[in-house]
Amino acid sequence: EDKVVQSPLSLVVHEGDTVTLNCSYEVTNFRSLLWYKQEKKAPTFLFMLTSSGIEKKSGRLSSILDKKELFSILNITATQTGDSAVYLCAVEGQGAQKLVFGQGTRLTINP
């Protein structure tokens, strides 16, 4: 059974800090790993990772995948209060066309 575990489950930091969110996975025939951000309602797509060692970057957010050790990290630098959200990690197995999600990390940025 495919499985995704995120850590920490909850994190509180001050504005300006850098945070690292972790995602480890077990999946049959790995195809991709995706990160989503969820504020008040629907999750919104951040990154898709398919290859090891290639960093994806968008502004202050970046993510990288390690397919040998079966994990991914999401980094957020110079955090702002608008980064407060639940961050979800999900994996897709080959041929499955469906995502298995982790529990999410609730990130709170205090001013």
Partner 1 sequence: DAEITQSPRHKITETGRQVTLACHQTWNHNNMFWYRQDLGHGLRLIHYSYGVHDTNKGEVSDGYSVSRSNTEDLPLTLESAASSQTSVYFCASSESRLSGANVLTFGAGSRLTVL
List of residues contacting partner 1 (CB under 8 A): 1, 4, 6, 9, 31-32, 34, 41-45, 48, 50, 88, 90, 92, 96-104
In a 10 Å sphere around its CB, with 0-12 CB exposed, 13-18 middle and 19+ buried, how is residue 38 labelled? middle
- Contact at 8 Å (CB) between 8 and 106? no
The residues facing 74 across adjacent strands are: 21, 63
Using the minimum distance from each CB to partner 1, give the nearer residue, 19 or 88: 88
Least CB distance to partner 1 at residue 99 (A): 6
Using the minimum distance from each CB to partner 1, give the nearer residue, 11 or 17: 11
